Amino acid sequence: MKRYFIAGNWKMYKTIGEAVSLAADLREKLAGCGEKLMIAPPFTALKAVGDVLAGSNILLGAQNMGPEELGAHTGEVSVLMLKDVGVSVVILGHSERRHTYGENDQLINRKVRLALQHGLEVILCIGETLEEREAGRLEEVIRTQLEGGLAGVGIEQLSRVTLAYEPVWAIGTGRNATPEDADAVHAFCRRVIAQLYSQEAAASITIQYGGSVKPENAAALMAKPNIDGALVGGASLKAESFVPIARFR
Ligand code: PGA
């Protein structure tokens, strides 16, 4: 049976105390859930949340990472530091990093390769803006982000990469892509992966959908053949909305 990858991205929300309390609640309520699960608290709460999750079925994720192992990089957090606190998955190329903080495919690619070299799993986010979609540039944008983000990533490392298709116009807006539209973009991603790697790699790569996933639309999205999970922002901030998404079936 297909195992979905349901991940929560807490963004810049939650103090340590709030994060620990939500993580403890999720640990209890998601015990026995058979999906692959991850939550990504803010950096300041990683250690405390990692302690709460130890021995559970929920992986500890980080929301970003610096492009170098160490050095004079004021304000960055290194892959070594993430591993030190027990992070096993890192979200890279989130649209807020791309559009608010100016990250380009080249920078994202350095992070992707570094994370993979160090044994982490990567969730590589891709997605078009409304302007790009309306200008008919959807496929060009997705292809460029995939080729750029995955440059130099070998096929043996690709098994540790999850793609997250997150149309920028659907993030935090309450307006999700229809399951049909999302599925079509996921199918396009598989075609690009088949060209870059192999048919087998294209068939086996996990592709999450992200952008206003909620308990009400999760099952319909997950029912689509090319959708293998969800990257959840707003609805991951409360157990009452994240738990039913993770337990959508
Ligand atoms: P949203 O965010 O679920 O609040 O739309 C998704 C994301 O940014 O990963």
For the entire predicted model, the pTM comes to 0.97
CATH value at residue 170: 3.20.20.70
Task: Calculate the alpha carbon distances from 4 to 33, 66, 216, 219 in Å.
Answer: 11, 28, 17, 11
SS3 category, 110 = helix
Q: Does the C-beta of 232 come closer than 6 Å to ligand 1? A: yes
For residue range 3-12, list pLDDT tens digits in order: 999 999 999 9
| Domain membership of residue 35 as a residue range | 5-246
Identify any residues that bridge with 166 across adjacent strands, giving them in sequence order.
none
Number of domains composing the chain: 1
Q: What are phi and psi of 203, to 5 degrees?
A: -75, -30
For residue range 212-222, list pLDDT tens digits in order: 999 999 999 99
Q: What are phi and psi of 69, to 5 degrees?
A: -70, -45
For residue range 104-121, list pLDDT tens digits in order: 999 999 999 999 999 999
**Cα(7)–Cα(5) distance, integer angstroms:** 6
**Cα(46)–Cα(197) distance, integer angstroms:** 34
Residue nearest to atom 2 of ligand 1 (CA): 233
For residue range 35-81, list pLDDT tens digits in order: 999 999 999 999 999 999 999 999 999 999 999 999 999 999 999 99
| Whole-number CA gyration radius for the chain | 17
Give long-range contacts, CB 8 A cutoff, 24+ apart: 57-60.
Answer: 57/30, 57/31, 57/32, 57/33, 58/23, 58/26, 58/27, 58/30, 59/88, 59/89, 60/85, 60/86, 60/87, 60/88, 60/89
Q: Does the C-beta of 93 come closer than 6 Å to ligand 1? A: no
Distance from Cα 208 to the centre of ligand 1, integer Å: 12
Q: Does the C-beta of 213 come closer than 6 Å to ligand 1? A: yes
Q: What are phi and psi of 8, to 5 degrees?
A: -110, 130
Mean pLDDT of 142-157: 98
**Cα(82)–Cα(70) distance, integer angstroms:** 12
**Cα(45)–Cα(185) distance, integer angstroms:** 34
